[in-house]
Amino acid sequence: MVFVVFISGVSKGIGNGFAQAYLSRPDHIVIGSIRESAASSPKVKELQSFPAAEGSKLMLVTIESTSPTDAAKALQQVKDAGIDHIDIAIANAGGSPIPTTPLESISAEEMTTTYQVNAVGPLMLFQACRPLLEKSSSPKWASITTGGGSITLMGSIRSWDGSSYAAAKAALNWITRAIHFTNERFVAVALNPGLVQTEPGNWIAKRWGLEKATYTIEESVSAMMNIIDNSTREQTSGKFFGIDGKERPW
């Protein structure tokens, strides 16, 4: 039986790491979304030539997170390719303005765009993926969020510095928990990948006085995949976790 995984934002960073990790498992179809402008990027070329395990293959589709229609078009391509279900959908695509803008001076345009990319985009993806998720025997949805999306932890981790990004991820957390309630078979989890050695992760680390971010992409992805693999409707769905497997407060 072929296992189907959809991952948004596979052109670099965590999404690229997820795609390689799932392609390393036998009998997996990995559907990855990229922006059109990233189609010829080195990391996408590297992913396309990645030595997949036996029975596994990659399919790339184009989604721009600010588009209200790209996700639906991409999923139609998936159906047209003969793929009739999705077992796991990972809403990974997102982005933060670097450097971050203080709350007192952030513009309406930046706030709106960041919400489109980090909250509205994943919602459009869920709506597009839902019919194929419903055809899985064990459908799972994972949102890649951030500790800054926790309203409870704002004071202790100074996440108000994250402004638009943290606020948008708080919205994504809400959407993730809402997905849990839309279908009694769905498993939906929000995952904080930790401070990862990506471009924005290393920027944040240096701002905090660190040489680089704490976790490699491989370490973060492996930990999150373990959580996804072991997630159940009864014990983990509708909740927010760090890569240590411990639940985080909303």
Which residues are part of the catalytic machinery?
Answer: 165, 169
Helix H or strand E encompassing 58:
strand 57-62
Rounded to an integer, what distance in angstroms lies between the CA atom of residue 178 and that of residue 190? 11
Cβ 175 vs Cβ 122: under 8 Å: yes
Cβ 16 vs Cβ 101: under 8 Å: no
Which structure tokens are listed for 240? 């927010």
Cβ neighbours of residue 219 closer than 8 Å, sequence gap 6 or more:
243
Q: Order of strands, edge to edge, in the sheet holding 140-144?
A: 57-62, 28-34, 3-8, 88-91, 140-144, 187-192, 239-242
